[in-house]
Structure 1
Amino acid sequence: MADSDQSTTSNDASADSREDVNEDSKLHFSEDEEILITRMFNLVGERWSLIAGRIPGRTAKEIEKYWNSRYSTSQ
């Protein structure tokens, strides 16, 4: 009985770590995406949904999080 409990616990931990990896991998942007984000930001400002509309598979939240982590002025 104890073996099955440990197996379930380790499976839950593996699932949690996979979610973290998936979440982090979304923040990796290609050079082309970075250039496009920068150009669009210079044109339209912080209109993240408009910028995300130009990059397939990206959300406004991902774009904003990327921008704030990369170009934040509060250091």
Structure 2
Amino acid sequence: MADSQHSTSADTVVDSEEENIQSKLQFSEDEEMLIIIMFNLVGERWSLIAGRIPGRTAEEIEKYWNSRHSTSE
């Protein structure tokens, strides 16, 4: 039947969320440099850093930082 050709709304939501998470954690070189510079100036004050990068939230920047600069080394 035609059911196999249709995706459910739940599948669409999951795919959309995965794409959204991946795109949010992709930062441009300019954003990366700004995050590094700001981190050196203000430390882990993610909301201050996010205020300098349009379209980014403090949570996104913190996740990005923690994924790139692990302190467990």
- Give the TM-score taking structure 2 as reference length: 0.85
Runs of 4+ with deviation above 4 angstroms? none
Show structure 1 runs of 5+ residues with no match.
Answer: none
Q: After superposition, what is the alpha-carbon deviation per residue over 1:5-59, rounded to whole angstroms, capped at 9, x for unaligned?
A: x84xx22213311211111110100000000000000000000000000000000
Question: Partners of 1:22 and 1:60 in 2: how far apart?
Answer: 16
Show structure 2 runs of 5+ residues with no match.
Answer: none
The residue correspondences of 1:1-75 to structure 2 (distance < 5 A) are 7=6, 10-11=7-8, 12-75=10-73
Question: Rg: which structure is higher?
Answer: 1
The aligned length equals 72
Task: Pick the structure with more helix per residue.
Answer: 1
- Give the TM-score taking structure 1 as reference length: 0.83
Task: Give the counterpart letter for 2:56 in structure 1.
Answer: R
